[in-house]
Amino acid sequence: MENEKKLSSVSDVGAWAMNVISSVGIIMANKQLMSPNGYAFSFATTLTGFHFAVTALVGLVSNATGYSMSKHVPIWELLWFSVVANMSITGMNLSLMLNSVGFYQISKLSMIPVVCVMEWILHNKHYSREVKIAVVVVVIGVGVCTVTDVKVNAKGFLCASVAVVSTSLQQISIGSLQKKYSIGSFELLSKTAPIQALSLLLFGPFIDYFLNGKLISHYKMSAGAVMFILLSCSLAVFCNVSQYLCIGRFSAVSFQVLGHMKTVCVLTLGWLLFDSELTLKNIMGMTLAVVGMIIYSWAVEVEKQSNAKALPHMKNSLTEEEIRLLKEGVENPPVKDVELVESKV
């Protein structure tokens, strides 16, 4: 039992490490690829389509070689999820174009409380006072180190709202679909990636043209640009897999809160590699954010322990009649439950 807990902890750390490293890596690669001082490849939506195309290809090869098993998920669920996910990507790109960087960062920070509220509405999930305090500390810390000028307009606010709601819903749905259909993170990703790739590659060039007034067909591709696109796509596979893995293992809120470690890493690496300015305000904000993440990790662990202690108490509080009824229910389950289990397998 103890060995299983240790292996689980190692797997959890590995999933988070893969997500942080791949996410920071893809941001650095895209910065070089898309910046005017780099290769000026300013087609973010189409690039995301490339990411999902490579991810879909990896999933196809994995299924063909028997490395992963394909489980049934209704096509309407996959289409609905893909629409929400693509709305998230498009909404974020439009929000960044129409709003100031400061308001864009605020909209990203607002995802944490939005995810909390949506999980409460959809899954009746409640959070302890310690978790709420930790979330507030993280939001303030990341806000201090990232938010500068804040300018907003009606169109930008609408796009930011759509982006926040769709991103929050997408991340909650990743965990819900995995539990609902007893499907692994990679299996779910390999089913949604082809739909997202097809739709983004089809509509992405038009969205990018609307965003920057440039056509991808007019872009002069170089060997360096191709190399960074391939690097970005390779890192995207690890980033996508680790995102599904982390949300499946933990929750959308944990993914959002601890995911801001990537913000701290990006700011630090930007200072080290790209001569970005790192002020006292940035350092104070990053420190506060890290403290908030530590408090959050501690609060979640305390919550788990209190729930574990509550289970034996609940067991002891059951009457003999209730225990007998529970046993009868296990030994003679209703037909509907049997059919539900069979449909999931």
Q: In the chain, which residue ranges form alpha helices assigned H by DSSP?
A: 2-34, 44-64, 75-98, 101-109, 111-123, 129-146, 154-180, 185-212, 223-249, 252-259, 261-273, 280-317, 320-331, 335-344
Please give the pLDDT value at position 330.
47
Six-digit token string for 331: 């030994």
Local confidence band at 63 (pLDDT 50, 70, 90 cut-offs): confident
pLDDT at residue 202 tops 80: yes
Angle between helix 252-259 and helix 2-34 axes, rounded to 10 deg: 60
Please give the pLDDT value at position 344.
40
Residue bearing the bigger pLDDT, 300 or 46: 46
Six-digit token string for 62: 């994995």
Residue bearing the bigger pLDDT, 324 or 9: 9
Of the ranges 94-108, 177-191, 288-302, the best mean pLDDT one: 177-191
Local confidence band at 339 (pLDDT 50, 70, 90 cut-offs): very low
pLDDT at residue 134 tops 50: yes
Local confidence band at 49 (pLDDT 50, 70, 90 cut-offs): very high
Of the ranges 93-107, 129-143, 185-199, 309-323, the best mean pLDDT one: 185-199
Residue bearing the bigger pLDDT, 335 or 169: 169
Cα separation, 328 vs 142, in Å, equals 52
pLDDT at residue 224 tops 70: yes
Cα separation, 200 vs 45, in Å, equals 7
pLDDT digits (tens, 9 = 90+) for 143-196: 777 666 667 678 888 888 898 899 989 988 888 888 888 888 888 888 999 999
pLDDT digits (tens, 9 = 90+) for 299-322: 777 776 776 666 555 445 555 555
Please give the pLDDT value at position 196.
94
* Residue (of 232, 281, 245) closest to 33 by Cα position: 232
**Tell me, what DSSP letter sits at residue 38?**
T
Local confidence band at 345 (pLDDT 50, 70, 90 cut-offs): very low
pLDDT at residue 291 tops 80: yes
Residue bearing the bigger pLDDT, 162 or 282: 162
Local confidence band at 234 (pLDDT 50, 70, 90 cut-offs): very high
Mean pLDDT of 108-133: 83
Mean pLDDT of 87-112: 79
Interior CA angle at 273 toward 269 and 279, to 5°? 60
pLDDT at residue 226 tops 90: yes
Residue bearing the bigger pLDDT, 126 or 202: 202
Q: 54-63, 77-86, 152-161: which range is least confident on average?
A: 152-161
Please give the pLDDT value at position 331.
47
Residue bearing the bigger pLDDT, 313 or 27: 27
> What's the half-sphere exposure (Cβ side, CA atoms, 13 Å) at 122?
15
